[in-house]
């Protein structure tokens, strides 16, 4: 990779670091810990699925930009 390519990669990296910021999780702490624990187990993890209502999905969809 040439010097110009490296400079472009660094500019892109800086841009992504400024644009993409983590958001605060809306999950309860115990739910988040359960998912993180499932991801640490070897093999394909089973992500626990929380029951939800259609009104919750509509409400969440309306909040999206």
pLDDT 10s digits, 10-41: 899 999 888 887 777 788 889 888 888 878 87
User: Rounded to two decimals, what is the model's pTM?
Assistant: 0.34
**Pick from 60, 61, 31, 64: which is nearest to 48 by CA?**
31
pLDDT score recorded for residue 11: 92
How many structural domains comprise the chain?
A: 1
Q: Which domain holds residue 13?
A: 3-63
């Amino acid at each position: 990779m040439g010097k110009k390519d490296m400079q472009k990669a660094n500019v892109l990296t800086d841009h992504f670091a400024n644009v993409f910021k983590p958001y605060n999780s809306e999950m309860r702490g115990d739910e988040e810990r359960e998912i993180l624990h499932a991801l640490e187990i070897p093999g394909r993890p089973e992500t626990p699925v929380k029951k939800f209502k259609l009104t919750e999905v509509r409400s969440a969809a309306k909040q999206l930009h």
